[in-house]
Amino acid sequence: MHPLKRFLFTIYVIVAVGVFIGGLISPQFRARTDASAPLRDALLPPPEPIVVSVLYSTEKDAWLKDVIAAYQSGHPTLNGHPIQIALTQMGSREIYLAVLDGTEQPTLISPASSLQTSILEDLSTRKFGNPIVRAADCRSVVQTPLVLVAWKERADVLWGNTPPADVWKKLHDALIDPKGWEAYNHPEWGYIKFGHTDPLKSNSGFMTILLMAYDYFGTTSGLTSQQILADAGFRQWFAEIEGTISKFGDSTGTYMKDMVAYGPSVYDLTAVYESSAIEQAANARGRYGELHVYYPPATIMSDHPFCVLQADWVKPDQAQAAQQFVDYLLSQPAQEKALLKYGFRPSDPSIALDQPASPFQQFAANGLTTNLPPQIDLPSGDALNTLLDFWSRNVQK
């Protein structure tokens, strides 16, 4: 062979081998084809996964695990690297406290509501000078409002078909009346028994005491730390209503199950999530009469935000993969499953709440409705922290 041809052929072989090896090494190439998989796997290790660690609240556990299984089965990738979702379940308050003190360093957090992200934004700004999360940048994936669930026979006596505009004040007066149900001509029912979860452990309890505070001050926005701390009448009123509750539960789901299992001997009415009421609606049938859902005149939404943390341990590719994962949670299949199988209101407004298979159709006779009363405005993180501390000092048992 002519020396020049031999030289050119050698150069060609070197370039071809280089291109081939480069293709094997390139994660993008690996993501596009499996044709070279046997040789690639024999020569090279697989591309490193991008691990997205998620701290999330318990209320959405079943739905989240369900949709993540579907997500991972599709072998999601980012720039050729497989995406792995690592879940850790915690209480909503535990989530922001663990992030704040550094015991947990997740990529994503998802407490039950924006109450917790507002607090974390406030506390992290105080501690670090900059917020580790911005509530405005979080994305709500599913929603469920706080409702009052009662045995209809008891609620009919208390307020008829619809709770009054000052429902929390009326409830306070009924609860502290030493005559109990005797004041309503039903002495056989004993004391009036109301319950909600521990605000320091469960988001629904936190939401409940926030609605109480707003109702006491006769407003739906602008609650301040000064109002909470300076009003002696509020302190007494609040302590009285909370003092009638024998046990503050740790979990909304457990509280709802207990109400269905033990009936009005334990609870006449409770404050829980709409989704928890839906979860137990079928189980309640035929037990202690009709279990009915009532919407307070002003409500608050548990909006399950997903927030990528703005922290030095979150790498750019993890942040990008996390956003890709949240996109999937907001996709139509995941959102429809949230509604039809788990009783959440989808964040996607295009999904009809009143479609034939919807729980809002199945349990309409139990008071479920797609229409919501006005929602309160979330106060500042400082006011929310003050309210929790106020409950801890004046009520916690």
Q: Indicate the pLDDT class of residue 6, thresholds 50, 70 and 90.
A: low
Specify the pLDDT at position 29: 45
Architecture per CATH, domain 50-140+305-343, reads as 3-Layer(aba) Sandwich (3.40)
Is the domain 144-302+366-394 a CATH 3.40.190.10 member?
yes
Mean pLDDT computed over 183-208: 94
Mean pLDDT computed over 346-375: 94
Nearest-CA neighbor of 347 among 335, 365, 359, 333? 335
The CATH 3.40.190.10 portion of the chain extends over 50-140+305-343, 144-302+366-394
CB 181 within 8 A of CB 187: yes
88-110 pLDDT per residue, tens: 999 899 999 999 999 999 999 99
Instruction: Give me the chain's average pLDDT, please.
Output: 88
Sheet holding 305-308, edge to edge: 77-78, 81-89, 50-56, 108-110, 305-308, 139-140
And the tokens for 359? 């729980």
Spacing of C-alpha 18 from chain mean position? 51
Q: Is 196 helix (H, G, I), strand (E, B) or coil?
A: coil
CA–CA distance, 322 with 136 (Å, rounded to integer) = 17
Mean pLDDT computed over 384-390: 95
AA identity, residue 363: F
Phi, psi of 158 (to 5 degrees): -70, -50
172-194 pLDDT per residue, tens: 999 999 999 999 999 999 999 99
Which residues, 6+ apart, have CB-to-CB distance to 389 below 8 Å? none
363-385 pLDDT per residue, tens: 999 999 999 999 999 999 999 99
Mean pLDDT computed over 259-288: 89
Can you list the positions of beta strands (E) in the chain? 50-56, 77-78, 81-89, 108-110, 139-140, 142-151, 194-195, 269-273, 291-294, 301-302, 305-308, 345-346
Specify the pLDDT at position 43: 56
Print burial letters for 215-249: b (CB count within 10 Å at least 16), e (below 16): bbeeebeebebebbeeeeebeebbeebbebbeebb
277-295 pLDDT per residue, tens: 999 888 888 778 889 999 9
pLDDT at 142 over 80: yes
Specify the pLDDT at position 9: 47
Helix crossing, 152-159 with 167-176: angle to 10°?
100
Higher per-residue pLDDT: 152 or 286: 152
CA–CA distance, 174 with 168 (Å, rounded to integer) = 10
Name the CA radius of gyration of the chain, rounded: 27
Residues 356, 361, 365: CA angle, nearest 5 degrees: 155
